[in-house]
Amino acid sequence: MTNFKVWLLSVVLTVLLLQGCNTNAIVDSNVAMPSRNWNYANKVKVSLNITDNSKPYTIRFKLRHAANYAYSNIFILLHIKGAGQKMQTKRYEYRLAQPDGQWNGSGSGNLFTYSLPLFANYHFPSPGNYEIEIEQNMRDNPLKGISDAGITVLQQGQ
């Protein structure tokens, strides 16, 4: 390979890597669960300041569980509060496995990872400080086999 081709290939790869790292995430958090047990009291919380509520946001729930997680689904509660607004609460159910038991998440050894939608094109009601909180809403307390959970908030259109 000529020097020019090597140089061109390295430039193209560098540009692709930099584009892959370009994110509009204003919040990206993960909370490790002690002993892979998600307790009701162990809520995942993030705080953010919204200066322009005319812009749309995407809010996602991140989850990682072990292969020995006992269920094919998970229920969570999402709470959004702040900026003088009444707290919003919404319950979600996510299917984590196919009927045949195959996990839907991307696998890495014994762990399966998900990035699950909560809101797309969400507009915060007004500018100000907000807190987003997620809690597990299954019957088991603690919920065994959950490695970590998190929240990502992305600003769209940048």
Confirm if 135 and 78 have CB atoms less than 8 A apart: no
Which tens digits make up the pLDDT trace of 32-52? Answer: 999 999 999 999 999 999 999
List CB contacts of 108: < 8 A, sequence separation 6 or more: none
What are the structural domain ranges in the chain?
24-155
Q: What share of the chain is helix, strand, coil (3-state, %, to 5)?
A: 15, 55, 30
Q: Name the class of domain 24-155.
A: mainly beta
Tokens of 50: 């919204």
Which tens digits make up the pLDDT trace of 42-88? Answer: 999 999 999 999 999 999 999 999 999 999 999 999 999 998 889 99
- Distance between CA 133 and CA 111 in Å, rounded? 23
